[in-house]
Amino acid sequence: GAGVSQTPSNKVTEKGKYVELRCDPISGHTALYWYRQSLGQGPEFLIYFQGTGAADDSGLPNDRFFAVRPEGSVSTLKIQRTERGDSAVYLCASSLGGTLTETQYFGPGTRLLVL
Amino acid sequence: GESVGLHLPTLSVQEGDNSIINCAYSNSASDYFIWYKQESGKGPQFIIDIRSNMDKRQGQRVTVLLNKTVKHLSLQIAATQPGDSAVYFCAEKPDSWGKLQFGAGTQVVVTP
C-alpha cells in the first residue's frame, strides 16, 4: 500500500523564482494538509483541503503562497517570487475524512532551498 | 539527562532504560492529542493518540499521559531501543477538524 508521496524530494532555486511542489495523498483520503518545517522546529500548518476546496488556508504566510487540489486527489503548493526565508521542508499529510481523531499520515517532504 | 542543544532539547537514554518525553500544550480547548516520531530525512510518523476525556492510554511499549489541569502531555517509552532514536513531537488539534499544532520537539538519543 502506497503512502503519501511528494515530489521533488529536493528543490534548489534562486531568489525570485517560482516553484511548484506536488503531493500525492493516500488513495481515498479526502483530507489533505500542507505543513512547513524549519530546521529544529515542529511542522507549521499552512493549508487544509477537504476534497477540492481549501477548508482552512489560515496558515499561508502571504499571497506568494497558493495551493490547489483540482480533482480532490493530487495537490500542488505554489510559491511565487521565492525568498531565502522560504527555505524549509514542505510536508504533506492526508487523512481519510478530516474528522477529529483521524490519523494524519505524512509524506517524506520536499526540501526547498532558496539561494 | 536533558540538555538544550542548538535547536532541540535532547534526551540521552541508555538502551533498555525507560524514556519519558514531556510536552506542554497551549490550547485548553484542545480535545485530541497525538505523539509523532520523526527520523532524519523522513516525515513524522504517528505513535499514539489520546482524547481529552482520558488521562492515560497505552500502546505497544508506549504510554501517553495527559494532565489537563496543567496542560501537560508525556510519552513514556519502555525498554528504549536504538531504533527509538529520533525527534518526538507532541501535537494538539485545536479544532474538531483540520490542522495539527505541533510542539517544539525533543531529540532522543539512545546509547548502547
- pLDDT tier for residue A104 given thresholds of 50, 70 and 90: very high
The domain ranges of chain A are 5-100+110-114
Digit-coded pLDDT (tens) for B60-73: 999 999 999 999 99
**pLDDT of B2 strictly over 70:** no
pLDDT at A17: 98
**Superfamily per CATH, domain A5-100+110-114:** Immunoglobulins (2.60.40.10)
A8 preceded by a cis bond (ω within 30 of 0)? yes
Give residue ranges of A with CB < 8 Å to any B CB: 4, 31, 33, 35, 39-45, 48, 50, 55-56, 59, 91, 93, 98-101, 103-109
pLDDT of B88 over the 50 cut: yes
Q: Nearest 5 degrees, angle CA B6-CA B41-CA B18?
A: 65
Three-state DSSP state, A52: coil
CA–CA gap between residue A61 and residue A46 (Å, rounded):
8
Nearest chain A alpha carbon to B89: A42
The pLDDT value recorded for residue B7 is: 64
Per residue in B96-110, pLDDT (tens digit) is 778 999 998 999 999
pLDDT in tens, B23-61: 999 899 899 999 999 999 999 999 999 999 999 999 999
* CB contact (8 A) between residue B104 and residue A100: no
pLDDT of B80 strictly over 60: yes
Average pLDDT, chain A: 96
Predicted confidence (pLDDT) per residue in A13-69, tens digit:
999 999 999 999 999 999 999 999 999 899 999 999 999 999 999 999 999 999 999
Residue spans of the domains in chain B: they are 8-83+100-111
Q: Which residue in A113, A60, A57, A109 sits closest to A83, CA to CA?
A: A113
Q: Are A78 and A18 in contact (CB under 8 A)?
A: yes
Cβ of B99 within 8 Å of Cβ of A33? The answer is yes
How close A87 gets to chain B, by Cα (Å)?
15
| Contacts of the segment A56-60: beta carbons below 8 A, 24+ positions apart | A56/B98, A56/B99, A59/B99
Assess whether pLDDT exceeds 50 at residue A95. Answer: yes
Q: Which of these ranges, A36-40, A98-102, A107-111, has the smallest mean pLDDT?
A: A98-102
Query: B16-46 burial, b if ≥16 CB within 10 A, otherwise e?
Result: eeebebebebeeeebebbbbbbbeeeebbee
CATH assignment of B8-83+100-111?
2.60.40.10
